[in-house]
Amino acid sequence: MAVPVADALSPGLPAGDVAAAGRFSRTRGALRTLEITIPAAVLLLLLFFCFVWPLIYPVPKPTGGSILDSGLPVGAPGHIFGTDNVGNDIMSRILYGGQVSFEVAAAVQAIGLVVGGALGVIAGYFGGPVDSVLMRVLDVFIAFPSLVLILAIVDSLGQSELNVIYALSVFSIPAFARISRAATLRLRDQPFVVAARLSSVKSWRIISGHLVPNMMPQLLTFSLLGAAVVIILEGALDFLGYGIPDPAPSWGKMIANGQTMLSVRPSLVIVPSIFLFVTVISLNLLGDGLRARWEVR
Amino acid sequence: MTGPLGQRVRRRAAPSPAAPSAERDEPAHPGSGPGGTPLLEVSDLRVRFRSRGSVVNAVQGISFTIEPGQTLAIIGESGSGKTVSAYAMMGLLPRTAQVSGSIRFKGVEIVELGERALQDHRGRNVAMVFQNPERSLNPTMQIGAQITEAVRRHLPLGRQQAADRAVELLRMVRIPAPERRCHEYPHQLSGGMRQRVVIAIALACEPQLLIADEATTALDVTTQAQIMDLLLDLQQELGTALLMISHDLALAASYAEEVLVMYAGRVVERASARDLFDRVRMPYTRALIDAVPRADLEPHVLLPVIGGRPPDLSTVTPGCSFAPRCPDAQQDCRQQAPPLEEHEIGHWWACWHPCGSEAPGDA
Amino acid sequence: MSTSVTSGEPGTSSVEPSRPGGGTASRRLAGSPALRVIGRRVLIAIPVLWGVTFLTFIVLNALPGDAATALLGANATPAEIRAETIKLHLNESIWVRYWNWLVGLLHGNLGTSLYYNQPVTSILGQRIPVTLELVVYALVITFVVSVPLAIFSARRPRGVVDRASMVFSMASLSVAPYVLALLLILVFAVNLQWFPALAQGTGGDIRDLTLPAITLAIPLIGFYVRFLRADLLEQMSEDYTVTALAKGLSRWKVLSRHALRNSFIGLVTVIGLNLATLIGATVIVEQIFGLSGIGWELLRAINNRDVPLVEGIVLVFATIVVLVNLGTDLTYDVIDPRIRHGRSRS
């Protein structure tokens, strides 16, 4: 039995372990689960709120509000979060804005996962010149300050939700490629893969049957953490005016619009900010929690 | 001179009177002798660790004393509790450890001491040399700086004086070209030399007790002998008591005056080195002795090994902890644990049915 | 831990033992593996730099969208548009244009801003100092706060400080910079009136820069505290920290004098990772606080379709990232004495 001299935690404890771990394994296990279930529940709630609720309940339209209704405070009857300065109901803008955020994040991560993941696996598995070229290309993309390039792309292509997705994918693809390449390299020389290779199993079979399933946990947690980043970036684009075109609502735009009224009606900024924060932190906590759970020692 | 296991034994000179030491407040202590105040008194020391819902009883009530200038060896397998005891004497156990019992260093109780007082205690009264010379030194810090840090922690020396002392210490541990070495980094030294540096650090403030925890285990045999000789020479020069912790019985036989054998957190036998090997009593010790490879055995003979595994320390079983593996175990062994008692003068053991035979051969 | 740009693992380059017998430091350096390593890294960085220039140009020039029309507005006549097109060399093939641009680049000429009618380089020269001050200020705040906080956390894992700082870290990494900026403005500028919400001076005034710097620093602190804490704890399970504790040093001293030195090495390699996000945040922060730095200028230039200026700024940013990554790789090789001194054994 090793003597735990320096009161250090066991080596390899991931940095994301925020768990208030008790001394006993039962409590620890329970809290670990809590670490995952709570953020997951919050996210599900948000998704429900944004996508399902409008289908069930007659939510006021997010645009085209009457100026007569403008400036209602939080808690006003019929408008839980109040209305903005042109009379739109804030809650519904939050709802529909949230749809945008989730859609963009999901699409960008899906594209990154499929395209970037595939590229990384191919480069990692086959190696050689393909790999070297890819690495250099990845280096270039990673060297690029993403926001800057994304701005340029969106500006050139024109503003639309689809273009935003394309622009953001330009950066999620290299990120996924890097991760999947690293994972592939690590898995490639594992005994079970080597055995398959030696038995002349077809490459794509090995990839799909052995490599990909073993990479999935890691890719999944990366997707979650990446989704958080995407949501913030997309919000930044909207904030700067280069994202989703008017009149569609989005959290970033709501925050930007609320800027001018910050001292008078801070709720215009605070409400979307809270939703943004809760979404992002839930994604981060979930990603971290899953990573801690699935970490291979 | 060869010892009971046929190995080379170091001739021990009579302990020398106190050597002159640098900058010490207290007078150098006299040589050892029965009747003097013991340097370290351990009474019924118990250490438990709580980890992940289970409790590990690492040390289950050990008692012994160390006289000034004495060389004591604690022998045991991994998990016997020997290292934990050593760390307890240094005050290095983490807060997850529950310590009870008493450890008195020159009359001062260590066990419940506060952190500040423990920091003063470590390095000044007791120092330690560790197992892995590769990893025991900070790779990004120069050797000299690591030594002067130890020096200036407890001794009121200025920078230049401390630097001089570092060089002097390196010379004392027989490292050639000490001035140059001070500015080198650990990776530029060989394993044996790094261990010497660790010894130099340990002796920086002339502690009265030096604990060598498997200090030579990671070294090759030749270097091992060199380091042990060095330790004993230094001991004589400085009058330091040496506590050797090891699993290597032959080592203990060669260098120690007195040997404690630990098993599963308890002391099971204690005697002078001579008595232990000539008149071994505990079957466990006997088995350990038999398992040592010897030059005078027939070639191609299987070494007798001790069957079974060390006990699980998270459960407390009645009866002798060695009983499951003991070839001489009887019914009463499994029912009640034998106490450690001084059955002969200077020879303690804890066994209901000790071996009465003499050790095989004596070269 | 390898960084992105040079893609080489620090410390694994071929390190041969230095000449037997040691010798003076200068002799060691001359034939040393260190220079070889530096040379190799620089060599690798060059194609990446080229790739950056290429990508910049392609993105800004090859995408649909007619710069001439945009510049002149929707009311321009076809003749005017054609004249402008010729003036901007837009009628030539993209490769020719790229070549011209690249040549100009290598001569230090980044073209002329269409909006200001001045050389791009001079405009950059005015804007860069502001951004530089902001970033340096933010980094100072970051390290002054993160290092002690990380040490405090590592000193008592799972203790109060540790839990609090982990919570803070998670929160700060989940806040969008624009939200944080507005929040800080709301609290400190509007309510407490300690700092101005918009820059008063022409940049360089500490009061103007404080809130923006804090906005940038907070997510960085979140990241570095987490990283350092984890690394420090790893160091604390190494044997040499036990040796240090055995000397009688306090945990704090062991952490700050021993573990930290080793953690810094890891820290250096990680600095480059944050750069891209930092740049993005800087753009947003300058916009919100009205600081006239290159981030702010970038937005303006995009808005004005000032293609040369946009190119110049994007290039500057990308080059900084490449150079910083190169720099951290090299620094890593230098500050780790194991690499610096080769593996000579006496």
CA-nearest residue of chain A to C279? A145
**Cα gap B11→A37, rounded to integer Å:** 69
The continuous run of DSSP H or E covering B342 comes out as strand B341-344
Cβ neighbours of residue C89 closer than 8 Å, sequence gap 6 or more: C96, C97, C100
What type of residue is A229? V
Cβ neighbours of residue B90 closer than 8 Å, sequence gap 6 or more: B121, B122, B126, B128, B211, C246
Q: What pLDDT band is residue C42 in, cutting at 50, 70 and 90?
A: confident
Alpha-carbon separation of residue B158 from B122, B154, B171, B172, B201 (angstroms): 21, 12, 20, 20, 17
Alpha-carbon separation of residue A148 from A14, C276, C291, C312 (angstroms): 32, 9, 17, 12
Contact (Cβ atoms closer than 8 angstroms) between residue A116 and residue A109? no
A239 alpha-carbon distance from chain centroid: 18
What is the token pair recorded at C42?
A: 């620089």
Q: Based on the number of CB atoms within 10 Å of its own CB, is A130 exposed (0-12), middle (13-18) or buried (19 or more)?
A: middle
**Cα gap A249→A268, rounded to integer Å:** 13
Structure confidence by residue, pLDDT tens digits, C130-163: 899 999 999 999 999 999 999 999 998 888 999 9
Q: What pLDDT band is residue C230 in, cutting at 50, 70 and 90?
A: very high
The continuous run of DSSP H or E covering A186 comes out as helix A161-188
DSSP state of C249: -
- List residues of chain B with CB under 8 Å from any CB of chain C: 90, 92, 115, 119-124, 127-128, 130, 132, 135-141, 149-150, 153-154, 185, 187-190, 198, 201-202, 204
As a whole number, mean pLDDT of residues A116-145 equals 84
Q: What pLDDT band is residue A87 in, cutting at 50, 70 and 90?
A: confident
**Cα gap A252→A272, rounded to integer Å:** 8
**Greater pLDDT, A133 or C65:** A133
Using DSSP's 3-state secondary structure scheme, residue B31 falls into coil
Report yes or no: B56 at the A interface, CB cutoff 8 Å.
Answer: yes
Q: What pLDDT band is residue C331 in, cutting at 50, 70 and 90?
A: confident
The pLDDT assigned to B11 comes to: 57
Structure confidence by residue, pLDDT tens digits, B168-225: 999 999 999 999 989 999 989 988 899 999 999 999 999 999 999 998 888 888 888 8
**Residue whose C-alpha is closest to residue B90's, from B70, B105, B78:** B105
The pLDDT assigned to A69 comes to: 67
**Residue whose C-alpha is closest to residue C346's, from B137, B175, B170:** B175
**Cα gap C316→C305, rounded to integer Å:** 18
Q: How far is A100 from chain B (nearest CA, A)?
A: 45
User: CA quadruple C166, C167, C173, C179: dihedral positive or negative?
Assistant: negative
Q: What pLDDT band is residue A255 in, cutting at 50, 70 and 90?
A: very high
- Residue found under tokens 């003991």: B326
Q: How far is A16 from chain B (nearest CA, A)?
A: 20
Sheet harboring B40-51: ordered strands across? B54-66, B40-51, B97-105, B108-109
The pLDDT assigned to A10 comes to: 30
What is the token pair recorded at C258?
A: 């021993």
- Per-residue pLDDT at A145 exceeds 60: yes
Cβ of A24 within 8 Å of Cβ of B52? The answer is yes
Cβ of B153 within 8 Å of Cβ of C250? The answer is no
What type of residue is B233? D
- Per-residue pLDDT at B134 exceeds 90: no
As a whole number, mean pLDDT of residues B140-144 equals 91
User: Which residue among C244, C245, C338 places its CB closest to the CB of B139?
Assistant: C338
- Per-residue pLDDT at C18 exceeds 70: no
CATH of domain B38-256: 3.40.50.300
The continuous run of DSSP H or E covering B252 comes out as helix B249-255
The pLDDT assigned to B307 comes to: 72
- Per-residue pLDDT at C1 exceeds 60: no
Contact (Cβ atoms closer than 8 angstroms) between residue B75 and residue B249? yes
As a whole number, mean pLDDT of residues C70-81 equals 62
**Cα gap A55→A62, rounded to integer Å:** 14
**Cα gap C299→A244, rounded to integer Å:** 17
Alpha-carbon separation of residue C62 from B131, C67, C87 (angstroms): 65, 11, 18
pTM of the model: 0.80
DSSP state of C275: H
**Residue whose C-alpha is closest to residue A125's, from A223, A225, A196, A219:** A196
The pLDDT assigned to C6 comes to: 37
Q: How far is C17 from chain A (nearest CA, A)?
A: 29
Structure confidence by residue, pLDDT tens digits, C249-260: 998 999 999 999
Using DSSP's 3-state secondary structure scheme, residue A134 falls into helix
Contacts of C4 in chain A (CB under 8 A): 138-139, 142-143, 178
**Cα gap B342→C6, rounded to integer Å:** 70
As a whole number, mean pLDDT of residues B317-326 equals 79
Q: Tell whether omega for the bond before A247 is within 30 degrees of 0, i.e. cis.
A: yes
**Cα gap C317→C311, rounded to integer Å:** 10
Contacts of C246 in chain B (CB under 8 A): 90, 92, 122-123, 127-128, 130, 202
The pLDDT assigned to C50 comes to: 79
**Residue whose C-alpha is closest to residue C331's, from C50, C32, C37:** C37
User: Which residue among A138, A140, A236 places its CB closest to the CB of C176?
Assistant: A236
**Cα gap A144→A138, rounded to integer Å:** 10
Domain-wise residue ranges, chain B: 38-256, 263-349
Chains that touch C (3 or more CB pairs under 8 A): A, B
Structure confidence by residue, pLDDT tens digits, A100-123: 999 999 999 999 999 999 998 888
CA-nearest residue of chain C to A277? C175
- Per-residue pLDDT at B137 exceeds 60: yes
What is the token pair recorded at A274?
A: 């809270």
The pLDDT assigned to A101 comes to: 92
**Residue whose C-alpha is closest to residue B256's, from B100, B66, B115:** B66
C117: left (phi over 0), alpha (psi -120 to 50) or beta: left
Q: Which of A142, A237, A282 is the best substitution to test chain C (most C C-beta atoms within 10 A)?
A: A142
User: CA quadruple C289, C290, C292, C293: dihedral positive or negative?
Assistant: positive
User: Chains B and C: how many Cβ contacts under 8 Å?
Assistant: 82
